[in-house]
Chains A and B, each alone.
Chain A
Amino acid sequence: MKILSKNLTRRTALTALGAGVATLAAPPFLRAQSAKTIKIGYVAPITGELSQFGETDRYALERIRALLAKGLQIGGKTYNVEILDRDAQSNPNRAAELAGDLIQNKEVHIMVPASTTNVVNPVAEQSELFGVPCISSGAPWQANILPRGGADKAFAWTYHFFWGLEDIIATFVNIWRSVESNRKIGLLLPRNLDGEVWGNKEYGLPPALRAAGFEVIAPSLYQPRTNDFSAQIAEFRDKRCDIVGGLVYPADLRTFVVQCAQQNYKPPIMTIAAGLLFASNVEALGNLGIGMSTEAWWTPAFPFPSSLTGETSAKIAADWEAKTGKQWTQPLGYSHANWEVAIDTLKRSADPLNREAIRDSLKKIDLQTVVGKIKFSGSPHANVCKTPIVGGQWIRGAKYPFDLKIIESSLWPILKAEGKLEPLKWGA
C-alpha cells in the first residue's frame, strides 16, 4: 500500500514536471493561448504514376509554410495555420481515404487537393459528402464536374478552377488553322475516360475539327501501353495526313514517334496533349521532339503577379530553377495559385474556423492569381472558374535542352504569341 502510494506520487510529480518542460520547449506561437489554429487539408500526387504533376507541390508548400510561420491576420486576430499534407500516391482510393481521415479525425476547415482527376475528384467527393469547403484545380473542369453527377446541378461545397475540353480543342484548332497543310488530321486517342471524351462524336475533337473544315481520320481508340502502332501509322500514311493530333501519354508517344520514323511516316505537324506537357517528356523524345506542339496553361511568361507575394511568374519559375536545379514545369503555377485562392478565401471569411463561413467566402472570390482570374460567376458551371490556356511548340533551348515557345494565344490573349508554328524536322 505504501509502495503504491509512493509510486503514484512520483508519477504525478513526473507528469507535472513533463508538462512544464513541454510548455517551455514549445515554440512561442504555441504558447500564445489566444491564437486559434486553422487546419488546411492538402492532398497531392507526390509519388506514383502522376508524380510529375505533384513534383512542384511540396516546394510550393514549403514556401507557403514559411510565409505563414507567424500566423495569418484575419479580422484583426492572428490565427495559426496548420497545413496537413498527404501523399495520395496517385491512387484515387487512397486520396478518398486520406480526405475522409483529414475531415473526420483531423477536422480540417478547408480542403485543397492539388491536381489530377485521380486526386481532386475523390477528395472533392468526400468534401461534398461531409460538408467541407474544397478548392481544386489541375484537371479539365468536365473531368472534375461530370463524373460526380454535376451535369445539371450545382455542388454546395466544392469548387474547381481550370480550363475545359472546349478550350483545349479550340486551342488545337487555332494552332492547326494557323499554318498551311492539306487539312487532313490523324487522331490518336487512348482507350480510357480521357480518350472517350476527346473522341466524342458530339462534343469532342472530331465534330469541332470537321466544323472548322478539316478532314478527320480517327481510328478507334488505342490501349495505353500499346507496343505497336503500325496499324494507325499505316492508316495515317495511306490517307496522307499532314497533321497528327490527340492525347497521348509520354511512353506511348515515344513508341509511336519512333515507330513513325521507322515506318517512314513523317507528318509536318504533331500537336499532342498530355504527353508533351513536361520538358522531360520532350527530352525523352530526343531530336524527334523538336517542333512538337502542345497545350500550355502556365508558363513563366504569364503576366499576372502573385496575390500572396507579389512575385511575377518569371520570378517564381526562376526561384524554382535556382533552388531545385530543374527546369520549370506547368504545374508550378497552379501549385502556387492553389494557395493564393485558399489564403484569400480564409482572409475574407467572416469566421475562418467555420466551414460554412469559409465556403461562403470561397463562393464570392474575385482574385487575380498567377494562373489567371478566379471568380465563380459567368462560367459554364456554378462551381467552375475557367482559367487560360494557350498553345506552345517545343524548340531547342538555351539553358535547358528544350524551351516552350508560345505559338497560339488567340483564345486567351493574355500574352503575345512568340512566333508561328514551324513544321517538324524529324530529327534532321
Chain B
Amino acid sequence: MQWVDAVVQGVLLGGLYAQYAIGMALMFGVMRIVNIAHGDFIILLGLIGISIATAWGLGSAGLILLLVPLGALIGWLLQHSVLNKVIGTDPIPSLIATFGLSIALQNFMLQIWSADTRSLSGGTLSVASVSLGPIHAGVLPVIVLACAVLLTGGLDLVLRYTAFGRGLRASAADHNAATLSGVNTKEVYALATAIAVGILGMAAVFQAMRTTIAPPDGGAQLIYAFEAVIIGGMGSIWGAFTGSMILGVAQVVGFRIDPGWGILLGHIVFLIVLAARPQGLMSRG
C-alpha cells in the first residue's frame, strides 16, 4: 500500500512539474531557445498575482484569468524585443540573453517586493483532501494535475492542427525554408513564447498556493523542467508531460526508500533515459 501511495503522490507531483515543463517544451523543445529566465517569470507573475490579490481581493481562479494574458503579453514582448534579435543556429546568444535577463529580473523584483517570502492563501482549498482508504490526495494537487492534462492536450492539438502550429514546426525545422514558404517566423515565434509564458501565469498561482515565493527562487525548479522535456523528447508536448510524470514518480518512490534519495533517483532516471534513448521517449525524430 505504501508504494501505491508513493505512485499516487508521484503522479500528483508530476502534475506540478508538467506545469513548468509544458512552456519549456514549446520554447526549448520546439524552438530550441534555452530560456534561463523561465523560473524567474513564474516568480514575477506570482508576485504580481499576490500584490493584486492583496489589493483587490481576487480569488485564485480570477488571478489565473488575469495572469495568463499578462504572461502572454510579457512573453510576446520578450520574443519581439529580445529573443528574435538573438535567435539563430547558434543557441548561445539566446542563452546568454536570458541568463542576463534572469539576473536583472531577480534584482528588479527585489527592489519592488523586497526579500520577504510570500504566498497566496488558497483558503480551505489548499488544505482540502480526498481519501481513498489509507491514501490521501490533496484537492489542490489533483486540480494542478487536471490543469496540466488539459493544457498538454490543448497545446498538442494546436501544434498539430492549426496554421500557427504548422508554421511553428516549420520555422523550427528549417527557418529559411519556412520564411520562403511565406511563414512570418518572427510573429510565429512571438506567439509561441507568449503561450509559453502565459502558461506560467497558471503555474505561478499554483506555486504560490503550494509553497512560498521570493525573488531569488526562480532557478530552483528550472532543472526539473529541462529534465522533463529531455526525458520526454524534444518537440513533443505529451512527451514533456510523460517526462514530468516519470520524474515525479521517481522522486517520490526515492523519497520512500530514503528521504535523501528522492531527488537523486529523479536525476538517475533522467541520466538513464539520456544514455539509453538520447532522443527521448516520445520523440518523433
The distance in angstroms between the C-alpha atoms of A166 and B130, with both chains bound, is 42
- Count of inter-chain pairs, beta carbons less than 8 A: 128
Q: Which of B9, B17, B107, B141 contacts A47 (CB 8 A)?
A: B107
Q: Mark B16-34, 1 if CB is under 8 A from A, else 0.
A: 1100000000000000000
Tell me the minimal C-beta distance from A391 to chain B in angstroms: 22
Q: Which residues of B from 136 to 152 have beta carbons under 8 Å from A?
A: 136-141
What residues on B are CB-neighbors of A234 within 8 Å?
2, 5, 256
Q: Which residues of A from 203 to 239 have beta carbons under 8 Å from B?
A: 219-223, 225-228, 230-232, 234
A230 close to B255 (CB less than 8 A): yes
Q: Which residues of B from 238 to 256 have beta carbons under 8 Å from A?
A: 248, 251-252, 255-256
Q: Mark B149-189, 1 if CB is under 8 A from A, else 0.
A: 00000000000000000000000000000000000000000
Q: A49-B216, A263-B138 are in contact. Are A222 and B259 (CB under 8 A)?
A: yes
B260 close to A222 (CB less than 8 A): yes
Tell me the minimal C-beta distance from A416 to chain B in angstroms: 30
Q: A264-B131, A281-B212 are in contact. Are A191 and B220 (CB under 8 A)?
A: no
What residues on B are CB-neighbors of A51 within 8 Å?
110, 114-115
A228 close to B129 (CB less than 8 A): no
B272: interface (CB < 8 Å): no
A427: interface (CB < 8 Å): yes
B259 close to A220 (CB less than 8 A): yes
Q: Which of B121, B131, B217, B252 contacts A231 (CB 8 A)?
A: B252
Q: Which of A230, A255, A278 contacts B211 (CB 8 A)?
A: A255
B263 close to A262 (CB less than 8 A): no
Tell me the minimal C-beta distance from A58 to chain B in angstroms: 12
Tell me the minimal C-beta distance from B268 to chain A in angstroms: 14
B118 close to A280 (CB less than 8 A): yes
Residue of B nearest to A262 (CB): B138
Tell me the minimal C-beta distance from B148 to chain A in angstroms: 14
Residue of A nearest to B264 (CB): A223
> Chain A interface: which size bin?
35 or more
A231 close to B210 (CB less than 8 A): no
A231 close to B256 (CB less than 8 A): yes
A220 close to B121 (CB less than 8 A): no
Tell me the minimal C-beta distance from B273 to chain A in angstroms: 20
The residue in B126, B128, B252 that gathers the most chain A C-beta atoms within 10 A of its C-beta is B126
A223 close to B260 (CB less than 8 A): yes
What residues on A are CB-neighbors of B114 within 8 Å?
51, 55
The residue in B116, B210, B252 that gathers the most chain A C-beta atoms within 10 A of its C-beta is B116
B90: interface (CB < 8 Å): no
B214: interface (CB < 8 Å): yes
What residues on A are CB-neighbors of B16 within 8 Å?
227
The distance in angstroms between the C-alpha atoms of A281 and B136, with both chains bound, is 27
B138 close to A226 (CB less than 8 A): no
B115 close to A254 (CB less than 8 A): no
What residues on A are CB-neighbors of B217 within 8 Å?
251
Q: Mark A258-302, 1 if CB is under 8 A from B, else 0.
A: 110111100000000000001011001111100000000000000
B110 close to A262 (CB less than 8 A): no
The residue in A221, A262, A284, A288 that gathers the most chain B C-beta atoms within 10 A of its C-beta is A262
Tell me the minimal C-beta distance from B210 to chain A in angstroms: 6
B116 close to A52 (CB less than 8 A): yes
Q: Which of A55, A228, A285, A286 contacts B115 (CB 8 A)?
A: A55
What residues on B are CB-neighbors of A281 within 8 Å?
117, 212
B127 close to A232 (CB less than 8 A): no
A48: interface (CB < 8 Å): yes
A262 close to B255 (CB less than 8 A): no
Q: A52-B116, A55-B114 are in contact. Are A228 and B138 (CB under 8 A)?
A: no
B214 close to A228 (CB less than 8 A): no
Q: A52-B116, A225-B220, A280-B116 are in contact. Are A231 and B262 (CB under 8 A)?
A: yes
What residues on B are CB-neighbors of A255 within 8 Å?
210-211
A232 close to B121 (CB less than 8 A): no
B136 close to A226 (CB less than 8 A): no
B13: interface (CB < 8 Å): yes
Residue of B nearest to A191 (CB): B260
Tell me the minimal C-beta distance from B197 to chain A in angstroms: 22
Tell me the minimal C-beta distance from A392 to chain B in angstroms: 19
B229: interface (CB < 8 Å): no
Q: A254-B211, A284-B212 are in contact. Are A262 and B127 (CB under 8 A)?
A: yes
Q: Which residues of A from 364 to 407 have beta carbons under 8 Å from B?
A: none
Residue of A nearest to B261 (CB): A220
The distance in angstroms between the C-alpha atoms of A48 and B109, with both chains bound, is 11
The residue in B10, B137, B216 that gathers the most chain A C-beta atoms within 10 A of its C-beta is B216
What residues on B are CB-neighbors of A52 within 8 Å?
115-117
The distance in angstroms between the C-alpha atoms of A288 and B211, with both chains bound, is 13
The distance in angstroms between the C-alpha atoms of A264 and B128, with both chains bound, is 9
Q: Mark B111-124, 1 if CB is under 8 A from A, else 0.
A: 00011111101001
B255 close to A231 (CB less than 8 A): yes
Q: Mark B199-214, 1 if CB is under 8 A from A, else 0.
A: 0000000000011111
Tell me the minimal C-beta distance from B186 to chain A in angstroms: 36
Residue of A nearest to B2 (CB): A234
Residue of B nearest to A281 (CB): B117
What residues on A are CB-neighbors of B211 within 8 Å?
227, 251-252, 254-255, 258
Tell me the minimal C-beta distance from A230 to chain B in angstroms: 4
B230: interface (CB < 8 Å): no
The distance in angstroms between the C-alpha atoms of A234 and B131, with both chains bound, is 14
Using A226-B255, A252-B211 as known contacts, list a sample of 8 further A-B pairs with CB atoms less than 8 Å apart, ordered by residue number in A. Answer: A47-B110, A52-B115, A222-B259, A226-B263, A227-B16, A228-B248, A261-B129, A286-B121
A sample of 15 cross-chain residue pairs with beta-carbon separation below 8 angstroms, ordered by A number, consists of A54-B115, A225-B220, A226-B255, A227-B211, A228-B9, A228-B262, A231-B255, A232-B259, A250-B117, A251-B212, A254-B210, A258-B140, A262-B129, A262-B139, A281-B117
Nearest 8 CB-CB pairings of A with B: A262-B138, A51-B115, A261-B127, A231-B255, A284-B119, A280-B116, A255-B211, A230-B9
Q: B residues within 8 Å of A by Cβ?
A: 2, 5-6, 9-10, 13, 16-17, 107, 110, 114-119, 121, 124, 126-129, 131, 136-141, 210-214, 216-217, 220-221, 248, 251-252, 255-256, 258-260, 262-263
